[in-house]
Chain A
Amino acid sequence: MEEFKRFLEKKASKTSVRRFGQYIAWEEEEVIPRGPTEFLDMYYLNARPGEVVIMDSSVARDLEERLKFLESEIQKLKTHNDILKAIIVGLCVVVITLVLKLIGV
């Protein structure tokens, strides 16, 4: 732990900052943006994305179609989900009614 603190201190001593009482100030260096990244490289090759990610029209179209397909799938599943919920509620009502009848309320 002591060695790690020494490492941090050494790094800190090399960092240019100005202290004004309890305040610390520094000038942010301009970060040069990385060049544009091809979307497919980013997606399939795990390339680190730059500030700008580019894709050609066919990739964009493909992506759009996939999104539409996924949205329609979600919609379908949501409908299934709603039906199943209604069935569960209905079954609950039936079970409760049967239980009450059996008890003789």
Chain B
Amino acid sequence: MVSYKNEIRKLEEKIKERFVGNEKAVHIAILDLLHPRSTILIRAPRGLGKSTLMLLMLRGIFGDDFVVVSGASEVKRGEVVGRLHIPSLEKEGIEKVLWAAFVRKEGKGLDEVNRLNPYTAANIYHMLQFGEVWAYGQRYKVKDYVLIANENPYDPTTFIHPPPFYDRFDVVLYLRSLTLSEKFRLQSLLDKYGDSLIESMEQVLTFDDLCEIRREVSEIELDVELRGTINLLVRDLQACIRNRDSSVVKPLILCEGCHFIRDVCSSVKTGPSERSTIVLSQLAKAKVWLDGKCDMEDVINFGKWVLPHRVELTKVKVIQEDIAEILEREKMKMREREMRRQWFMLNELYKKFDRELYRRVKEMALEDLVLAEELTKLETEWVKKGVISVEEALFSYLK
């Protein structure tokens, strides 16, 4: 286990030796590799090293044995999924499919995803969703893989892919431009490696090693409190008392006159999917495996990479900064919840109804939608049992 950890640390180190800046993004990418079918999306304007980072990571795991499909070229289905074997059709009348290297190889790269035509993107989406591809009525089951993609969303030739397509990417890494001192470092690197910066990247581990690591990581059990933090973070961004998901009117108009207008929910137009809970858990497990610990702060910080491509905000200036601000508010909110002892009181109410505790929790629930949701579930039972009346229940007030 220790040697595997050292291999992963060495992989990160070797990448950082050749990739200047964006250290946090590289670390998140390393953590994301540690679960099956990992998918990473690198986003940045041109020339900031998207493709370099993608290739360094793929080379570090697969050596030369990986496939990169470029959206910038006129890539066709045959090159991404599979094509018909013409001799078999002509001689034997059999439709034999030659599956493309992209689906067969474990190391997959997608350069300039934003330029992929919608038809090819739909095939890749199917692969990410169901772990299989279809061509000429035949199916190919895709095994475990590493998929690293990149895109420049400001590119004028961008295809707008649907949000569910991006939701299939575990994390999105936004790269920033280099600071003055980092530019000096890059120059030194280029002097050292010349044109062979990527070629100089050695294969640090094999894909079999990575599969074994993924197995070890999957066996890690997360502490219930940490799982609670993950669920709370996602729920805080999903919850809407006015049922935003099925409402035609969207925030902020929907929020007008809402009791929770000042809460974080009013900043979110479309909340994150449940996939974000899964990815946050996978990253937390990977961190426990690699660094030995993962706390509430780490989980909330993971949100910076897991949420930007999964949520739609009501007002966007710079998505990464807006998400960071929301996460700061979340940290504060979680601390306040601890200070108010609201989980303790809710736990007591689960055991036994107590009018004074109920009154206090009800007051708190007026400032916390997630707590209100849980309290109203209890209230429904109490109303059925005749412990409280419908009129005094919180759900009557919040209607």
Contact = CB atoms under 8 A, between A and B. Distances in A.
Contact of B329 (A9, A15, A48): A48
Interface stretch (B90-98, B184-192, B343-351, B385-393): B343-351
Interface string A1-35: 00101111111100101000000101001010000
Given A29-B339, A49-B262, A12 B348 contact: yes
B329 A11 contact: no
A7 B228 CA distance: 6
B141 interface: no
Interface in B302-351: 315, 329, 332, 336, 338-339, 341, 343-344, 346-348, 350
Given A3-B227, A48-B329, A17 B346 contact: no
A97 to B, nearest CB: 43
Interface residues of A, number: 19
B238 interface: no
A57 interface: no
Contacts of A31: 336, 339
B344 A15 contact: yes
Contacts of A15: 338, 341, 343-344
A46 interface: yes
A12 B341 CA distance: 8
B346 A7 contact: no
Contacts of B339: 29, 31
Given A46-B262, A48-B329, A17 B224 contact: no
B267 interface: yes
Nearest to A34: B332
B266 interface: yes
Interface in A54-74: none
B225 interface: yes
Given A46-B266, A48-B262, A8 B341 contact: no
A11 B348 CA distance: 11
A5 B329 CA distance: 26
Interface of B: 224-225, 227-228, 262, 266-267, 315, 329, 332, 336, 338-339, 341, 343-344, 346-348, 350
Given A7-B224, A46-B266, 15 more contacts: A3-B224, A5-B347, A7-B225, A7-B227, A7-B228, A9-B347, A10-B225, A11-B225, A11-B228, A11-B347, A12-B343, A15-B338, A15-B344, A31-B339, A48-B262
27 contacts: A3-B227, A5-B347, A5-B350, A7-B224, A7-B225, A7-B228, A8-B346, A8-B347, A8-B350, A9-B347, A10-B225, A10-B228, A11-B225, A11-B343, A11-B344, A11-B347, A12-B343, A12-B344, A15-B343, A17-B344, A26-B341, A29-B339, A45-B315, A46-B315, A48-B262, A48-B329, A48-B332
